[in-house]
Amino acid sequence: MDYRMEKDSLGEVRVPAGRLWGAQTQRSLENFPIGEEKMPKEIISALALIKKVCARVNCSMGVLEEERRDLIVRVCNSIIAGNFEGEFPLSVWQTGSGTQTNMNLNEVIANSGNMLAGEKLLHPNDHVNRSQSSNDVFPTALHLAFARVIREKLEPALGEMMKTLERLELENEGIVTIGRTHLQDAVPLAFSQEIGGWKSMVKRSLKAVRQAAEGLCDLAIGGTAVGTGLNCPKGFGEAVAKELAEETGIPFRSSPNKFRALSARDDVAFAHGALKTLAADLLKIANDIRWLASGPRCGLGEITIPANEPGSSIMPGKVNPTQCEALSMVALQVMGNDTAVGFAASQGNFQLNVYLPLLAYNCLQSANLLADAVFSFTARCLAGLQANREVMAEHLNRSLMLVTALSPKIGYDKAAEIAKTAHEKGTTLREEALKSGYLTAEEFDDLTDPQKMI
């Protein structure tokens, strides 16, 4: 392999000749051969957008020449378009401030811009990183990337799930099924009511995610190294935030307290906490559906879900609730990520949190996994859900918990006596109720009408 020599403040470094990065990126590659996890593409895109906007603002404030601005903007647009694959190879497990990834962007932008110009016009620190520090740029990129994935991927996925649940709720009106508490028979409810419960959970989780993500709109940019804004023109942070809002359609704003913005990751922890809450709701829904679809002959079998693929390598004809299982695994991964996010967010020692790459990786993984899993589950499972009316009716008619409707008429103890006797003898509630003499046939039939009980 051919190499070229690059230099930084520590001296010379050999860099592969065909690569656009420089000495600091190469040192990170050599010093952190840890794991397979690379910096998420959403962070790279967010950093490129920040560099682009910073160049424009720097130029408007008279601290960067137009020619240099134009080069930076041109290269950043190309990075955002995905044209620099392979130039951002750094591990998540690097410096906790994300400095090396920030410098990776600075070096690639500078070297690419200089190639376009045919001369050395851009310096990674002096021009691309002008008025910035990794300490305010990386938290800004984290907020920007996390907010965009939530807004652009997760919210639409949950919206589609809501629409599907609304359709199912309407389609299943009039179907009465048996309720279950403690995994034991309970009183009846409408199947549409059960679906409505799922819909309400998704609706409230979506609302919580939107509300929690609002804190991500506060940006650290303009705080530079420790929050004082050293080497940064007055009003820089406000101007950059305004342009980022215009670029993304998300109401980003300059954080009113840059010391908090650099050292505290409470907004990130709060937003991810909403994802954990969503994950808990999705896990409940997925488990309900796979329980109700269990069988097809020896389980509950009250609903059917699409058969997407063979379920067993040894049992012919077996079909499994695979979309439920995938969504469940994603939910558990998000819950695990939330534990790491909580610990990482607590480590804002003095003026800087140094767990930023981990936060970025976990938050973006959670949001992307939830979005993808919700879309897949909705399209490949929920959309094809159908009620098995005959099985629901059979379970409803066999349930002993219809006896609950008799309590106001004959009292709890007498109703319990009827249910216990029917269970022990394997008879019906109606038989034992009439034998007891506590009720007439007409009274029993009127009181235990399932349609009246829902």
**3-state secondary structure at position 305:** coil
In angstroms, the CA 430 to CA 427 distance is: 8
Q: Which is catalytic among the residues 182, 255, 395, 436?
A: 182
Q: What H or E segment, with its residue span, contains residue 109?
A: helix 99-117
In angstroms, the CA 445 to CA 317 distance is: 42
Question: Does 143 qualify as catalytic in the annotation?
Answer: no
In angstroms, the CA 445 to CA 406 distance is: 10
In angstroms, the CA 385 to CA 307 distance is: 11
Give yes or no for a contact between 238 and 293, defined as CB atoms under 8 angstroms apart: no
What distances in angstroms separate CA 10 from CA 17, 19, 120, 127, 372, one per listed residue?
20, 20, 21, 20, 44
For the four alpha carbons of 183, 188, 189 and 190, in that order, the dihedral sign comes to positive
Question: Does 399 qualify as catalytic in the annotation?
Answer: no
Q: What H or E segment, with its residue span, contains residue 15?
A: strand 11-16
Helices (H) and strands (E) in the chain, counts: 18, 8
Half-sphere exposure of 315 (CA within 13 A, CB side): 5
Residue whose C-alpha is closest to residue 423's, from 400, 401, 439:
400
Strands (E), 297-336: 303-304
Give me the DSSP letters along 198-217.
HHHHHHHHHHHHHHHHGGGG
Give yes or no for a contact between 24 and 8, defined as CB atoms under 8 angstroms apart: yes
Q: Which is catalytic among the residues 133, 254, 312, 346?
A: 312
Residue that has been written with the tokens 């067993």 in this structure: 312
Residue whose C-alpha is closest to residue 370's, from 332, 321, 322, 341:
332
**3-state secondary structure at position 350:** coil
Residues serving a catalytic function are: 182, 312
